[in-house]
């Protein structure tokens, strides 16, 4: 856990990934917040497999966006040829299926 600055003798703020956690020592309680700014309204770039291609090759991936993958000649795709950007129940965005494909040499 990366601890931020101490705001008073009784409060400490920590950032854990996308979460802002505020610890209050007096009165004894734990308060957590999921700030709207921490939730990106799009999926992170899924990358391009080594020896492969992705379409679209650039841009932002909003909900329901599809990324398609293929491999260069001499390579074959292992994994999904298509992934979709989805909105999860907690409000975050991610890819389904979550495993990114890879390009393997033919014959492996």
Instruction: Note the pLDDT tens digit of each residue in 58-88.
Output: 889 999 999 999 999 999 999 999 999 999 9
Alpha-carbon distance of 48 to 102, in angstroms, equals 9
Alpha-carbon distance of 26 to 40, in angstroms, equals 33
Using DSSP's 3-state secondary structure scheme, residue 96 falls into strand
> At residue 3, does pLDDT exceed 60?
no
Among residues 64, 57, 58, the alpha carbon closest in space to that of 93 is found at 64
Kindly report, residue by residue over 93-107, the tens digit of the pLDDT: 999 999 999 999 998
CATH number of this structure's domain 38-105: 2.10.70.10
pTM of the entire structure?
0.61
Distant-in-sequence, close-in-space partners of 42: CB < 8 Å, separation ≥ 6 = 60, 61, 62, 63, 65, 85, 93
Alpha-carbon distance of 106 to 76, in angstroms, equals 6
């Amino acid at each position: 856990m990366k601890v931020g600055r101490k705001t008073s003798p009784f409060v400490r703020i920590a950032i854990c990934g996308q979460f802002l956690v505020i610890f209050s020592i007096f009165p004894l309680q734990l308060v957590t917040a999921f700030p709207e700014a921490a939730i990106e309204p799009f999926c992170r770039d899924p990358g391009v497999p080594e020896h492969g291609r992705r379409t679209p090759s650039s841009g932002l991936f909003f909900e329901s966006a599809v990324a398609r993958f293929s491999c260069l000649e001499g390579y074959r795709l292992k994994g999904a040829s298509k992934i979709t950007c989805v909105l999860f129940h907690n409000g975050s965005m991610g890819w389904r299926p979550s495993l990114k494909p890879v390009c393997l040499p033919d014959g492996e």
